[in-house]
Structure 1
Amino acid sequence: MSLLSIGMSGLNAAQGSLSVLSNNIANVNTPGYSRQQTTQNASANNQYGGVFIGSGTTLADVRRIYNDFLGAAYQSSTALNSDAAAYAGQAAAIDKTLSDKTTGMSAALSAFFASLQTAAATPSDVSARQLLVTSAQTLSNRFNSISTQLTQQKETINGQLGTFSDQVNKLTSSIASLNSQITSAQGSSTSAPNNLLDARNEAVRSLNELIGVTATEKNGQFSITTGTGQSLVEGNIANTISAVPSKTDNSQYTIQLNMGDTPMDIGNVVSGGSIGGLLRYRSDALMPAINDLGRIAIATADSVNSQLGQGLDLNGDFGSSLFSDINSAAAISQRSQAASGNSVGSGNLNVTIADSSKLSTFDYKVTFTSGNQYNVLRSDGKAMGAFDTTTTPPPMIDGFTLALDGQGPMAAGDSFKVSPTATGASNIGISLKDPNKLAFAGPLAGNASKTNTGTGVFTQPTLTVPIDINGGAATAQLRTGIENSMPVKMVFGKPAADGTQPYTVNDAQGNPIGTGSIIPGQGNKITVNVPMRDASGALIPGKSFGFDTTVSGAPANGDSTTFSFNSGATSDGRNAQQLLGLQTKATVGAVDGNAGVSLVSANSRLVSQVGSKAAQANTDSAATGALLAANKAASNSVSQVNLDEEAGDMIKFQQYYTASSQIIKAAQETFSTLINAL
């Protein structure tokens, strides 16, 4: 080869290298761009006599500087960090909502019990009673407000899942298209299509920001899978995903993979990326918080209403509910949701709270095995057992009972999602507006005879069986019977030789209805059973009620105490004190062998649990952020354009170009010398 050809080969190689360097510099800020380098090969030697002389150089390849291992680590840490960041962002909002000292539940609960304490100290003060009603309204509103915020967050997540799913579909479509372009380019050239490879890698990285995926290369094409191997991209075919209402709960969206004729729910297996973080947050923090808040609201309403039902108001009537009925028709119907694939006409389940103190924060899956038999599985995986809708009374499961709503027969395979407490905070309200109807007084009162000469002391009577404030006709009969059957009189006799002292209990007509004995000088609990009478004074067959009192000291022979219906006792605050005791009484969470906690403690525990999850989420976000930064730096150390290095190489190749041009100049001068010599 001539000297001119050798110079031209060097000039072309230098020019190509300068072009690659210029392209690197131009793309220094292009996301996903990997720097490129040229490689050169020596041209074939030419034999001159007995020696071989080189014939210049060729530009063999433009090589993409990329490390697959470091790139994969960067991709996976991107998915982890996006997951953690999405969780942390949502958790911070709910933590602020629940823990705020002014607008959180703690302030409203404290204000309610503070006003109750004031009213209990002055039970006849109507202004104190009105303050309690106002505080109850504030407490109810606070439950409603926080419930609304949590529900809105759930709806926001539904919307975000839809938006992110659309973005995923655009990226998977782009990756499938790039697969085709790369295959086509590789088939028509021995050189790799570097820019297309970079674009595909960047698309996979962006995809990992949205949903955790695994990219596997085969024959130059990427296969993209998510979850437990569900295919998003295979060659030039992309499968779409959609955010759709769950078949078991249409208020929560899940992720559906649209592949073939049968869509697949992959919401339970997706992890990583913003989608994975949102799904994880919803199941791990948001829904348990909604259920827990609802449980506290139900326990608050139920325990306060139940205690008010044990007392008398300023009008001398038995108490009315302060809060709305936890088992209203609307509330009962909202606690169950039929699966979308149930048999036609199967209807729904009515879920009644039987014991609010035994409620859990879990959801339940009810699956029918026949028209009336069903199994119950709790969301923590605990099998609650097999039951029958014909059992009377219906069995209690973690504080609630189930019944058919009467719309139609069930069929084997029908299933329902039961959420006993999810709507508790949104449904609570105030049903009592008149402060005079707050039942602060005890229903019965005992008064010792003024002629007593002994040292006997009697505690005020308490009913042995609580009155069910929502008991309907049976409760009405009991209340009327108590009022009509009083007073009764307890008269003590002469102490016996064995150290005991007899007593007799007489009804309002003077008829004996009970006898017994005490040991003077000790505390003696006495239960009195009173036959019930109607308004005319006639006995009601088979009906009675009981009350307890404790006698201490030593009554004298003939001493007596009369126990009466406590109407008109405006200054009696005994039942108000029992209401105040709910502040520390274990009324929440007595399930799975736990003793339960008070309303205040239950709220504090909820705030603490959410705060702990939010703090852990921040820690996870920081840790995965550091991991992402480290993996990104490691990948960039290999692939990222270094302007200092490129500037140095540019000087080198400029000198190379200049030297090659000098070879050409030397060839020209040599050729001119030969021409001139002729």
Structure 2
Amino acid sequence: MSANALMSLGIRAMNANYAALQATGHNIANANTEGYSRQSVVLETNGGQFTGAGFFGKGVNVATVQRAHSEFLTREAATSKSVAAADEARSAQLTQLEKVFPLGEAGLGYAASQMFNALVDVANKPSDTSSRQVVLARAGEFASKLATAGGQIETLQRGVTEELKASVTQANMLATRVAELNQRIASATGSGQTPNDLLDQRDQAISELSAYVQVTRIDAGDGTVSLFVGGGQKLVLAGQATPLVTVPDSYDATKLQLGVNDSGSLRMLSQELLTGGSIAGLMRFQNEDLVAARNQLGQLAAAVAGSVNRQQALGLDGSQPPGSGAPLLAVGAPRVLPASGNSGGGNVSISVAEPTELQASDYELLADPSLPAGSYTLTRLSDGSTQTVSNGSVVDGMRITIGAPAPAANDRFLLQPVAMAAVSASLAMENTRGLAAASPVAATFDVDNIGTASVSALSATAVNGAAAPLTATLTFTDDVGSYSWELRDASNALVRSGTGSWSAGNPIRSDAWTPATPAQRYDWALELNGVPRSGDVLTVGATPFPASDNGNARAMMALGEAGLVGQRTVGGTVVPGASVTDAYANMLAEIGVRVQGAELAAQQSATIADQADADLQSKVGVNLDEEAARLIQFQQSYQAAAKMLQVAQSLFDTLLQAAG
């Protein structure tokens, strides 16, 4: 073996250790670079040379530079990061939504209670102007809080819209970055070596992209990766990125939905298929949480305003002569939004038939071609229940009107009976005399009555503008509540008569006598205290002195404890709704549950994401202590290789001297 062989060994050893030192230095330099994976030099022997005395090694070769990488851990870290981003985005928005509904004296429940409580003073002093002014002030405060809450919900919607646009822009930039890196990686891979730094940059870009939208990754043989979203829609295919786009909702242009623009062809992405990323969290908040809150608030506003205004209309105001009460509160009207893809110009509208039965939900009306003409499928979106309706159908307190032209086959309409009620709430009355404190009907007992019966409550229940005012006379025929009744006009002529029966806890209702065509100006309901005796006479007629009567003020005051919100009829049985304060408390409870659930989910998913990232870093991250130890190791090896060259040079010099 010549000195040249030893020198060749030394040179190869120096080159190998220099490469190792270079890789170690690169690791140290990028220890704090986001997404960087530790690199190491792979060495291999240069083979052996056969001699009669055996095989002598020819040194070392640098085979490649490889990066520490785990495909499984990389995917897990990206997926868990995507889920955590979705939960965090929704939780942050729900925290803002919770602030829309304050507790205590700042809340809607307290404002409603104050409005109804103010009617106590009006009931005690019906003609007192200051008491009436307090009622208007409290009603104005209640309406103002409704409008403020509704406006804050709309502000949240605008904020979500802007965040969605910004998130989609960032996601598209990252998708384009991945496509560009795909091209560079494919070109570099053709050299036979892996471009480690480019691979790190691509993995980091995919990780950042996952924070906006969860992607499915498929690796190709040429080193490129393809990314898919929403159940299979391509986002990145080799060197081509398909941009995400925000699209106005098919019903409501103030809301955004997500799609992909595939060479000019728009393909929508269903929210159910977006399982991760901040975009998915924002979409869920917009389409579920915000809709539920808006409808619950609107349900409360429409139920209270509708009930109060209806009772107002049944009373007599303080003007001269007294007239029927005008509306006290105003709220936003129900609305119908046609789908943007409808082929026809169907005329569909809705109105409130019974405010206490309105539900906190939107509805979708479909012109189903499988149904007979004039029939439509109505879906309550809050629970997915469906039923068949037609023109004039009353569902959940709303009346559906379908005029000409009729909707074309497969046309869809979004019905919103309560969604816009709160945002437009206001006080509709300014004149204190407009408050209808007086009941239009009054009851008197004959002075010769021997029973203990007295009036517990008497209020009008309906008004028939086409009828003449009649006086009702009830004569009890026994001691257990049986009576005969007569209706007489102003000339005392008999109009109608009949019999009935009273029992404690059940009011006497005049509409039960004339269910089809009421003959009175007002229908009324009378509740008694005590027990009437046979021969007792009770007369119900027009209120003689409206200015001092408090019957309707008491009826309005009673609305504060009545089940006004969310009444339902199930199988012919009326299920009472909640009072105003209970309805607000239920709203707070539901939002609180959503907030707590979102916060818990965000905490759990963040913990999982942090653990997945820690597992990945333990595999691919740079440990400076380890790199410092390797630096010393390779330095010593390099110095030893240099010594080998020195020895080879000395041997060569000795040979030259001997030959000389």
Give TM-score, length-normalised by structure 1.
0.88
Give the one of 585, 604, 618 matched to 1:604: 585
Name the SS of the counterpart of 1:625 in structure 2: helix
CA pair 232-667 structure 1, distance change in 2 beyond 3 A: same
1:351 alignment partner AA: I
Does residue 430 (structure 1) correspond to residue 427 (structure 2)? The answer is yes
CA pair 548-647 structure 1, distance change in 2 beyond 3 A: closer
Deviation of 1:273 (Å): 0.6
Comparing 368-377 with 260-269, greater Cα deviation is found at: 368-377
Conservation of the 8 A alpha-carbon contact between 2:459 and 2:526 = no
Deviation of 1:401 (Å): 1.8
1:645 counterpart residue number = 626
Does residue 454 (structure 1) correspond to residue 436 (structure 2)? The answer is no
1:596 alignment partner AA: G
CA pair 643-527 structure 1, distance change in 2 beyond 3 A: closer
Deviation of 1:625 (Å): 0.9
Conservation of the 8 A alpha-carbon contact between 2:459 and 2:552 = no
1:66 counterpart residue number = 69
For the residues of structure 2 that align with 1:140 and 1:255, how far apart are their CA atoms? Answer: 36
Give the one of 412, 416, 428 matched to 1:415: 412
In the alignment, structure 2 segments of 5+ residues that lack a partner are none
Name the SS of the counterpart of 2:437 in structure 1: coil
Give the one of 258, 263, 271 matched to 2:261: 258
CA pair 545-297 structure 1, distance change in 2 beyond 3 A: closer
Deviation of 1:440 (Å): 1.8
For the residues of structure 2 that align with 1:398 and 1:521, how far apart are their CA atoms? Answer: 31
2:550 counterpart residue number = 573
For the residues of structure 2 that align with 1:280 and 1:567, how far apart are their CA atoms? Answer: 59
Give the one of 313, 323, 326 matched to 1:320: 326
CA pair 19-165 structure 1, distance change in 2 beyond 3 A: same
Conservation of the 8 A alpha-carbon contact between 2:326 and 2:434 = yes
For the residues of structure 2 that align with 1:530 and 1:512, how far apart are their CA atoms? Answer: 18
CA pair 458-595 structure 1, distance change in 2 beyond 3 A: closer
Compute the RMSD of aligned alpha carbons: 3.0
1:477 counterpart residue number = 466
1:466 counterpart residue number = 462
For the residues of structure 2 that align with 1:497 and 1:91, how far apart are their CA atoms? Answer: 61
Conservation of the 8 A alpha-carbon contact between 1:529 and 1:544 = no
**What pairs with 1:244-643 in structure 2 (closer than 5 Å)?**
244-268=247-271, 269-315=273-319, 316-324=322-330, 331-332=333-334, 335-343=335-343, 346-369=345-368, 372-380=374-382, 382-389=384-391, 394-404=392-402, 408-450=405-447, 452=448, 454-455=450-451, 457-459=453-455, 462=458, 465-467=461-463, 475-478=464-467, 481-482=468-469, 485-486=470-471, 506-513=488-495, 546-547=523-524, 549=526, 553=531, 560-591=537-568, 593=570, 594-643=575-624
**What pairs with 1:187-198 in structure 2 (closer than 5 Å)?**
187-188=190-191, 190-198=192-200
CA pair 581-527 structure 1, distance change in 2 beyond 3 A: closer
For the residues of structure 2 that align with 1:428 and 1:314, how far apart are their CA atoms? Answer: 25
For the residues of structure 2 that align with 1:240 and 1:164, how far apart are their CA atoms? Answer: 12
Conservation of the 8 A alpha-carbon contact between 2:76 and 2:612 = yes
Deviation of 1:314 (Å): 2.5
Conservation of the 8 A alpha-carbon contact between 2:465 and 2:521 = no
For the residues of structure 2 that align with 1:519 and 1:240, how far apart are their CA atoms? Answer: 75
1:414 alignment partner AA: D
1:141 counterpart residue number = 144
1:535 counterpart residue number = none
Deviation of 1:423 (Å): 0.4
Give the one of 107, 112, 118 matched to 2:110: 107
Deviation of 1:297 (Å): 0.5
Conservation of the 8 A alpha-carbon contact between 1:490 and 1:506 = no
CA pair 217-497 structure 1, distance change in 2 beyond 3 A: closer
In the alignment, structure 1 segments of 5+ residues that lack a partner are 468-474, 533-539
> For this pair of structures, how many residues does the alignment match?
642
Conservation of the 8 A alpha-carbon contact between 1:442 and 1:566 = yes
1:252 alignment partner AA: K
1:537 counterpart residue number = none
2:559 alignment partner AA: L
Conservation of the 8 A alpha-carbon contact between 2:478 and 2:533 = no
For the residues of structure 1 that align with 2:566 and 2:94, how far apart are their CA atoms? Answer: 24
Conservation of the 8 A alpha-carbon contact between 1:66 and 1:638 = yes
Name the SS of the counterpart of 1:604 in structure 2: helix
For the residues of structure 1 that align with 2:485 and 2:7, how far apart are their CA atoms? Answer: 135
Give the one of 206, 209, 213 matched to 1:207: 209
Does residue 185 (structure 1) correspond to residue 188 (structure 2)? The answer is yes
Deviation of 1:518 (Å): 8.6
CA pair 503-88 structure 1, distance change in 2 beyond 3 A: closer
1:216 counterpart residue number = 218
For the residues of structure 1 that align with 2:252 and 2:513, how far apart are their CA atoms? Answer: 51
Write the deviation string for residues 304-349 of structure 1: whole angstroms up to 9, x where unpaired. 11112222223332222101266xxxx24xx1111112225x0552
Does residue 167 (structure 1) correspond to residue 170 (structure 2)? The answer is yes
Write the deviation string for residues 167-207 of structure 1: whole angstroms up to 9, x where unpaired. 1111111111111111111112x221101110110011001
CA pair 619-283 structure 1, distance change in 2 beyond 3 A: same
CA pair 44-601 structure 1, distance change in 2 beyond 3 A: same
Conservation of the 8 A alpha-carbon contact between 2:314 and 2:552 = yes
